Amino acid sequence: MGSSSKVILVGATTLIVGAYGISLKKAESTGLQAAVSRVTRVQQERLEDAALRTALHEFVADAGLRDKSGTRKGLGGATFAYNVQSGAAPKLSVTITEVGGGEVTLSAHLRKLGPGEEVGRGPRKIHRGEWIVTKVFVKRQKAEKNNFK
């Protein structure tokens, strides 16, 4: 085999190994991005659940007789403001302000459990005493990026 053939063979092998290495790196990067995305989504869900549970707790502490509102610090440095309106069909609203400036608005319906009625089990069943959150509506607004140079 001539020296030019050896150079071409080594170059081709190097190219194949390099392309394979880059493909592996890209696959790892994609997997990492998917994992980070999932963690972010789960953290957001937990923050929303905690805000709803806190607002419901404050409402039930007064036996659901009065409107309640307040502001609290949440997970990851976020803050949330809640407002619960009592009445025949109580409504709960929570506005979460995230650290990056994004905002999430939750609107929920509350219902008092009837005699002998039990709450179903599950991590996303938000209830306190005789009250349960029946429906939740979520509106997200991402923070606008500043285009200053």
Between 122 and 147, where is the model more confident?
Answer: 122
Average pLDDT in the chain: 81
Could you tell me if residue 58 is inside a domain?
yes
Of 68, 72, 69, 80, nearest to 44 (Cα)? 80
> Does residue 148 have a pLDDT over 60?
no
Could you tell me if residue 120 is inside a domain?
yes
58 alpha-carbon distance from chain centroid: 22
pTM metric for this prediction: 0.70
Can you say whether the dihedral through the CA atoms of 64, 70, 73, 75 is positive or negative?
A: positive
Sheet holding 131-141, edge to edge: 68-73, 79-85, 91-97, 103-112, 131-141, 127-128
Could you tell me if residue 38 is inside a domain?
yes
Residue 89 main-chain phi, psi, to 5 deg: -125, 85
User: Could you give the CA distance from residue 95 to residue 140 in angstroms, rounded to a whole number?
Assistant: 10
> Does residue 143 have a pLDDT over 80?
no
Could you tell me if residue 8 is inside a domain?
yes
Could you tell me if residue 135 is inside a domain?
yes
Of 134, 137, 138, nearest to 90 (Cα)? 134
Structure tokens at 54: 């806190």
Integer angstrom CA distances of residue 50 from 54, 72, 77, 126, 127: 6, 11, 13, 9, 12
pLDDT tens for each residue of 36-52: 888 888 888 888 888 88
Could you tell me if residue 82 is inside a domain?
yes
User: Could you give the CA distance from residue 148 to residue 81 in angstroms, rounded to a whole number?
Assistant: 30
Determine how many CB atoms are found less than 10 A away from the CB of residue 133: 21
Structure tokens at 123: 């991590």
How far the first Cα of the chain sits from its last, in Å, is 59
Could you tell me if residue 146 is inside a domain?
no
- Give the domain extent around 86: 3-141
> Does residue 149 have a pLDDT over 50?
no
pLDDT tens for each residue of 103-135: 888 888 888 888 888 877 777 788 888 888 888
Q: What's the total number of domains in the chain? A: 1
Could you tell me if residue 35 is inside a domain?
yes
pLDDT tens for each residue of 72-108: 887 778 888 888 888 778 888 888 887 777 888 888 8
